[in-house]
Amino acid sequence: MGNADDPVADDSHRDHDCEAAGTLAFVAHYGAPGTGQAWTCTRCGKAWSRVDGVFWPADQGVHILSIDDVQ
């Protein structure tokens, strides 16, 4: 297993729905005001982005702008 104090190390928390479990905790705003927010799951440690009111796994990069987004 892992350290009981480290939510990421505990494999029993790997198979859950972060959004449905209500375990997402706000971390910070990023970008221009209202652009996006960083969140993390307090149960498994997975990073999430909230863009336009929709949560996306941060590793999908939805929160990263391209040149086309700003022209």
**Which pLDDT does position 68 carry in this prediction?**
73
Domain around 38: 11-59
In a domain, 29, yes or no: yes
**Which pLDDT does position 65 carry in this prediction?**
67
**Which pLDDT does position 22 carry in this prediction?**
85
Phi-psi region of 67 (alpha: psi -120 to 50; beta: other; left: phi over 0): alpha
Q: Torsion angle, CA of 40/41/46/49, rounded to 10 degrees? A: -40
Structural domain count of the chain = 1
Whole-angstrom CA distances from 1 to 48, 51, 71 are: 24, 34, 49
DSSP-based three-state secondary structure for 61? coil
In a domain, 3, yes or no: no
The sign of the CA dihedral 49, 36, 19, 23 is positive
One digit per residue, the tens of pLDDT, for the chain of length 71 reads: 444 455 444 555 567 899 887 899 999 988 777 778 999 999 999 999 998 888 989 888 877 766 676 66
